């Protein structure tokens, strides 16, 4: 798999189209989560690629929300990104704003974890620790079931993602909490540097 971009180029590209700290935080978080998943699922040699798909998956969302996952193709082509990366980015909106179906395991993980990282991040903010380091699956499950909590995080998409992967929701929750724990500190440090 070839992204055709260095991480430095990808970060520059991200910043070209994203200024909001919220969007930068989300991009860096999904990058870290994807890197964790690559290692967890036996794709360590592709961890840079998995991470880059996470870093750039919402590249077009801040400036072109109405063309999400469509404008991305143009922006990434302009930046000479590889086709694999473009496919992965566009597929994360499958059935919502894109016709590109997640095929590779990495694309299914991106689809499943993107929305869930939002829910975990919102749940972490409510904790005394303000962190997911001490978050248990049971408390995340409660937040998942409470439809008024972080109502913008679609439970249906999270469910669909788990189904795509052939995982129980619990497994997706457990793994994604671990993934977010693994990068929480480094993401915050990098966000402070970037913004
Ligand atoms: Fe996203």
Tens-digit pLDDT profile for residues 126-138: 999 999 999 999 9
Could you tell me the distance, in angstroms and rounded to a whole number, from the CA of residue 136 to the centre of ligand 1? 23
What residues does the ion ligand 1 have nearby, CB within 5 Å?
A: 58, 114
pLDDT tens-digit series, residues 46-87: 999 999 999 999 999 999 999 998 999 999 999 999 999 999
Cα separations (Å) of 25 from 18, 43, 84, 169?
A: 10, 24, 24, 24
Neighbours of 45 (CB within 10 A): 10
Could you tell me the distance, in angstroms and rounded to a whole number, from the CA of residue 139 to the centre of ligand 1? 22
Could you tell me the distance, in angstroms and rounded to a whole number, from the CA of residue 55 to the centre of ligand 1? 9
Handedness of CA 182, 28, 177, 135 (dihedral sign): positive
**Given the structure tokens 């919102």, which residue do they identify?**
122
pLDDT tens-digit series, residues 9-57: 999 999 999 999 999 999 999 999 999 999 999 999 999 999 999 999 9
Could you tell me the distance, in angstroms and rounded to a whole number, from the CA of residue 121 to the centre of ligand 1? 12
Q: What pLDDT was estimated at residue 96?
A: 86
* Domain boundaries along the sequence of the chain: 7-194
Of the chain, the percentage scoring pLDDT greater than 90 comes to: 92
Could you tell me the distance, in angstroms and rounded to a whole number, from the CA of residue 59 to the centre of ligand 1? 9
Taking each helix axis from N to C end, the angle separating 137-145 and 169-194, rounded to the nearest 10 degrees, works out to 90
Could you tell me the distance, in angstroms and rounded to a whole number, from the CA of residue 111 to the centre of ligand 1? 9
Could you tell me the distance, in angstroms and rounded to a whole number, from the CA of residue 182 to the centre of ligand 1? 18
């Amino acid at each position: 798999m070839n992204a055709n971009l260095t991480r430095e180029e990808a970060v520059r590209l991200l910043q070209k189209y994203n200024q909001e700290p919220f969007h930068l935080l989300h991009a860096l978080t999904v990058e870290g989560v994807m890197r964790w998943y690559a290692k967890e699922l036996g794709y360590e040699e592709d961890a840079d690629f998995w991470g880059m798909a996470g870093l750039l998956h919402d590249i077009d969302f801040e400036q072109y929300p109405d063309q999400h996952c469509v404008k991305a193709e143009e922006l990434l082509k302009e930046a000479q990104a590889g086709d694999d990366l473009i496919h992965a980015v566009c597929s994360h909106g499958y059935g919502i704003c894109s016709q590109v179906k997640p095929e590779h395991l990495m694309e299914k993980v991106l689809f499943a974890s993107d929305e869930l990282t939002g829910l975990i991040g919102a749940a972490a903010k409510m904790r005394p620790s303000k962190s997911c380091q001490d978050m248990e699956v049971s408390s995340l499950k409660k937040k998942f079931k409470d439809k008024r909590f972080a109502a913008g995080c679609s439970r249906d998409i999270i469910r669909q993602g788990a189904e795509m992967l052939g995982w129980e929701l619990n497994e997706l929750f457990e793994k994604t909490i671990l993934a977010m724990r693994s990068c929480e500190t480094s993401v915050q440090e990098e966000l402070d540097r970037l913004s």
